Each structure stands twice: as structure tokens, then as C-alpha cells.
């Protein structure tokens, strides 16, 4: 639902616009959400479903063709019906996943002046940190209940200099996640009826773009009156998300919000905007959001995986041909898409909407 500016008359606390939410949440006097954060969600509890797909990565890459083809079918169904799945047996060591969560937490615990070195000045800054805000449909600025750090990690590697361990572990995690990404996209290529290496070749995955982002959501005194990240879709092909065991990610499915719970060591994967564009709309970029809670700090670590930065992404030619020559999305250079999205956070309407080609009168 659209955010509503709540009644400010009983929430008169105003805060410095650039204050870290961590600092604010740690002030013991805070009993309610300051008015800049007011974002009422009456459905923030979310529903549960035991049918959220679980995909076993080891079966996608296994030699047994029967098992593999069943795993590919499950993957196709997950992409078509949910745009979301829980990936297990992916081969990335548990210590690497734990260490990246811990090192990300260490970043947020650095002194403020260290974090402020990465305050965003331009969309193309390769390292950014801060807290965030969005414009709601009524053009009001809503502050988000989360601090973040983001950096471009592939094909060029950037990372905050401190803590030193963060640099090392982000490099390792992104390196280990690339073969997983490419194998999943080979399977997705086959599922779309394309050659196994089609997505890899056309979108130049040797130089695939990867962005590391860590989100820090401190406990919130009124979780229904604030939001960590409002509903949005991600740029790129597939997003990989892990967290510190505190729930908060919800995905939209058949018009309802579902909580995602995940077994330890799994990766939550969602289909993103450029898979929707490339598949000419066969796979949808799934809407998701991060809700907050009053009990525990939540940390999520995201790797957004896209094509090479300089690729102009179009719907795949063979799929357009199968759709009677009708491309449903306009082309756009991938890195331009990312940077307009990072600089222009509008609630509810993203770049993807702007690239959709509406059917001509003869098609209606």
C-alpha cells in the first residue's frame, strides 16, 4: 500500500536529516518514531507460505541428467510463479557467509567520521554509505529505518578501506558467488529455450557487474510506523541476499506480502529488472521490502548481479521473435540504469516502468 504521512501532531521529534539511524536508535530517550520516518504499514506482519520454492544448487549442476532436468523445472517454476527462491547447497562455505555478515557489522560500528567519508556525492561514486530516504507518491520525503554501505565489486573492485577484513571478505564472497550466478543463468537460459551459454555471451558475464550492499536495521520503537526499505524491485539479473538470522525481508506474491524464512547457510535469490527485460517479460522482477522490528538489529548483505556495465540490455532477440517481433522493453545501457536508479529513489515507480513499451492501439 502507498505510504501515508502519519499525523505529526503527536510525533514532534525532528532529527538531523543525515543522522545515522543506528545513532538515533541507540539514544535511550527514543520512545516513538520521529516524524521524518512516518510510514504506516497496516500489513507489515506478512503471511507465511510453506510453498516458497527451495532450489538445490547441487542438482542444477549435477551430472545425472534426470535429476538435473527436474531441478531445472523447479527453477523455471520458481522464476515464473514467485520470482524468488531459497538456494541451498550452493557450495559457498558457511564461514565466508558468517564472516561477511560480521565484517559488515564492524563497518557500521566504525566512528561516524570514518563512515562519512563515503557519503554519496554523485550516483557514480563506487562506494557509498549513509542512511536513505525516498519520495512517496505525495512527493514527501520519507526517511528509511536503515543505514547502508554499498560498493561496486566487479568487474572493478572497490571497498571501504576499514575495516580491513571487510575488503578481504567482500572480495572472496563476490568471487565465490560468480560461478553460482553463472550456473544459475545457464540453467535459466535453457529454461527460456535459449542456448545454455546465451545469457552469458550476450550479457558478457565474464565482466558481470556486482554491487555489494549491507543494510543495518536497528530495533525500532514503533515498527509499524517506519520501514527499512519500501516496496521496490532491484536492478540486475539475480539478487543474492543473506542475513544475520533476524527476519525482515518480505516478497510480494499474488498481491500479498510473504515473509521469507531461510535455512541457515542458504541464499535468498530474487529475479530482478534485467531478467524481466531480457526475457521480454516472461520472468517478472519481484517486488520486495524490508520491514523492521522492535527487538533485534537486523543485518542483510546483498550482492546485486547484473550484466557487464557497458552492455545495452534489450529483450533477447529469439524471445522477441517468438513474441511476433514485439519487444516489450526499450534498450538501455546497464550502468546508466543502475546510476539513475541509485540517484532517483522514487517509491513505487522504478526505471523498469519507464522502459516498458505500452501496446499500440492495434494491439489492444
Ligand X SMILES: O=C(O)CCC(=O)C(=O)O
Site residues, ligand X (CB under 6 A): 213, 215, 229, 234, 241, 248-249, 288, 290, 300, 302
| Beta strands per DSSP E along 218-359 | 229-232, 238-243, 249-253, 256-259, 267-271, 288-290, 298-306, 312-313, 332-333
| Chain centroid offset of residue 70 CA | 27
Name the minimum Å distance from CB 196 to ligand X.
Answer: 29
Q: In the block, which residue shows the cell 510473504? A: 258
Q: Positive or negative CA dihedral for 330, 332, 337, 338?
A: positive
Q: Which stretch binds Fe ion (CB under 5 A): 3-11, 94-102, 226-234, 251-259?
A: 226-234
Residue 303 contact among ligand X, Fe ion, none, beta carbon within 5 to 8 Å by kind? none
Residue 115 contact among ligand X, Fe ion, none, beta carbon within 5 to 8 Å by kind? none
| Beta strands per DSSP E along the chain | 54-56, 84-88, 127-135, 141-154, 209-217, 229-232, 238-243, 249-253, 256-259, 267-271, 288-290, 298-306, 312-313, 332-333
Q: What is the C-alpha separation between 109 and 44, in angstroms, rounded?
A: 28
The smaller minimum CB distance to ligand X, of residues 45 and 70, is found at 45
Q: Which stretch binds Fe ion (CB under 5 A): 157-165, 230-238, 244-252, 307-315?
A: 230-238
What phi-psi label fits residue 229: left (phi over 0), alpha (psi between -120 and 50 degrees) or beta? Answer: beta
Name the minimum Å distance from CB 178 to ligand X.
Answer: 19
Residue 90 contact among ligand X, Fe ion, none, beta carbon within 5 to 8 Å by kind? none
Beta strands 332-333 and 312-313 are antiparallel
Residue nearest to Fe ion (CB): 234
Q: And the C-alpha cell for 346? A: 522514487
- The count of chain residues that interact with Fe ion, using the rule CB under 5 A, is 1
Tell me: does residue 234 bind Fe ion (CB under 5 A): yes
The smaller minimum CB distance to ligand X, of residues 101 and 213, is found at 213
Name the minimum Å distance from CB 241 to ligand X.
Answer: 6
Name the minimum Å distance from CB 115 to ligand X.
Answer: 17
The smaller minimum CB distance to ligand X, of residues 196 and 294, is found at 294
Name the minimum Å distance from CB 198 to ligand X.
Answer: 27
Looking at residue 109, the DSSP 8-state letter turns out to be T
Name the minimum Å distance from CB 325 to Fe ion.
Answer: 33
Q: What is the C-alpha separation between 146 and 131, in angstroms, rounded?
A: 6
Q: Which spans of this chain sit near Fe ion (rule: CB under 5 A)? A: 234
Amino acid at each position: 500500500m502507498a505510504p501515508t504521512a502519519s499525523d505529526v501532531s503527536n510525533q514532534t521529534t525532528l532529527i538531523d536529516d543525515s543522522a545515522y539511524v543506528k545513532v538515533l536508535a541507540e539514544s535511550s530517550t527514543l520512545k516513538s518514531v520521529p516524524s521524518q520516518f512516518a510510514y504506516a504499514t497496516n500489513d507489515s506482519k506478512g503471511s507465511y507460505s510453506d510453498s516458497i520454492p527451495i532450489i538445490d544448487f547441487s542438482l542444477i549442476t549435477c551430472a545425472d541428467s534426470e535429476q538435473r532436468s527436474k531441478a531445472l523445472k523447479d527453477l523455471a517454476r520458481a522464476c515464473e510463479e514467485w520470482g524468488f527462491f531459497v538456494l541451498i547447497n550452493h557450495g559457498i562455505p558457511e564461514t565466508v557467509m558468517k564472516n561477511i555478515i560480521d565484517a559488515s557489522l564492524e563497518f557500521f560500528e566504525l566512528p561516524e567520521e570514518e563512515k562519512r567519508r563515503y557519503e554519496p556525492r554523485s550516483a557514480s561514486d563506487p562506494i557509498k554509505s549513509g542512511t536513505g530516504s525516498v519520495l512517496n507518491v505525495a512527493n514527501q520525503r520519507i526517511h528509511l529505518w536503515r543505514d547502508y554501505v554499498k560498493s561496486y565489486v566487479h568487474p572493478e573492485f572497490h571497498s571501504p578501506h576499514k575495516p580491513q577484513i571487510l575488503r578481504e571478505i567482500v572480495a572472496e564472497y563476490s568471487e565465490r558467488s560468480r560461478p553460482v550466478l553463472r550456473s544459475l543463468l545457464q540453467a535459466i537460459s535453457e529454461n527460456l529455450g535459449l542456448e545454455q551459454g546465451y545469457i552469458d555471451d550476450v550479457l558478457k558475464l565474464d565482466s558481470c557487474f556486482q554491487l555489494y550492499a549491507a543494510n543495518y536495521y536497528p530495533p525500532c520503537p514503533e515498527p509499524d510506523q517506519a520501514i527499512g526499505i519500501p516496496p521496490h524491485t532491484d536492478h540486475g539479473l539475480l539478487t543474492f541476499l543473506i542475513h544475520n538470522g533476524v527476519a525482515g525481508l518480505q516478497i510480494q506474491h499474488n498481491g500479498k506480502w510473504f515473509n521469507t524464512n531461510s535455512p541457515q547457510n542458504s541464499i535468498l535469490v530474487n529475479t530482478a529488472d534485467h531478467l524481466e527485460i531480457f526475457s521480454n517479460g516472461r520472468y517478472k522482477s519481484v517486488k520486495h521490502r524490508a520491514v523492521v522490528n522492535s527487538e533485534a538489529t537486523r543485518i542483510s548483505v546483498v550482492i546485486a548481479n547484473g550484466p557487464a556495465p557497458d552492455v545495452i540490455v534489450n529483450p533477447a532477440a529469439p524471445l522477441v521473435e517468438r513474441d511476433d517481433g514485439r519487444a516489450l522493453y526499450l534498450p538501455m545501457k546497464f550502468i546508466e540504469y543502475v546510476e539513475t536508479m541509485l540517484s532517483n529513489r522514487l517509491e513505487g515507480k522504478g526505471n523498469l516502468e519507464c522502459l516498458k513499451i505500452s501496446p499500440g492501439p492495434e494491439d489492444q
